[in-house]
């Protein structure tokens, strides 16, 4: 590929200063590195070695609310997972155990991946998450375990993912 060939799906950006604007503006994403160590006063997660972790905070650690707690406080989810269908209604308890077990495994390694709320309405269940990747991976786990139909709708302007699983 020559320097002048542009791959499909990409477009040339005309900026003389070499900078370009971020396409996605996520108010919950860190703007820079936090001082280490930093502890979240709400959940106790510690920012250490460049990421949030479940570890003990040393005395005198800086205090800053993590993005997951910030989203929970603001009631502003990043991921929406809608679960519905006759199979789901017949096996709801089993399927919801899978959903919560998957979240627990993810949360153990990634403190910012959390379920915010589970709401039943109109014969379906809506699971909201603090992270788009958690909503996606729960949907994939459901599809892997039970098949069914899995759809994704991503809104890059809001960094928001809607996942629908029907079976």
pLDDT band at 23 (very low <50, low <70, confident <90, very high): low
What is the DSSP secondary structure assignment for residue 147, as one 8-state letter? -
pTM, entire model: 0.81
2 pLDDT above the threshold of 60: no
Q: What pLDDT score does 5 carry? A: 58
Strand order from edge to edge, sheet including 46-48: 51-53, 46-48, 38-39, 62-63
Average pLDDT, the chain: 87
30 pLDDT above the threshold of 90: no
Burial class (CB in 10 A: 0-12, 13-18, 19+), 155: exposed
Report phi then psi at 75, rounded to 5: 55, 50
The better pLDDT of the pair 29, 95 is held by 95
158 pLDDT above the threshold of 90: no
Q: What pLDDT score does 29 carry? A: 74
């Amino acid at each position: 590929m020559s320097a002048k060939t542009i791959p499909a799906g990409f477009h040339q950006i005309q900026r003389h200063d070499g900078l370009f604007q971020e396409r996605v503006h996520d108010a919950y994403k860190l703007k820079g590195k936090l001082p280490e160590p930093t502890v979240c006063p709400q959940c106790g997660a510690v920012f250490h070695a460049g990421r949030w972790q479940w570890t003990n905070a040393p005395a005198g650690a800086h205090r800053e609310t993590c993005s997951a707690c910030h989203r929970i406080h603001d009631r502003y989810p990043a991921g929406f997972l809608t679960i519905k269908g006759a199979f789901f209604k017949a096996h709801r308890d089993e399927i919801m155990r899978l959903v919560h077990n998957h979240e627990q495994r993810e949360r153990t390694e990634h403190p910012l991946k959390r379920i915010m709320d589970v709401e039943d309405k109109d014969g379906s269940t809506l699971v909201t998450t603090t992270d788009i990747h958690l909503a996606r991976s729960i949907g994939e786990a459901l599809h892997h375990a039970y098949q069914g139909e899995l759809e994704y709708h991503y809104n890059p302007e809001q960094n928001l993912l809607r996942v629908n699983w029907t079976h």
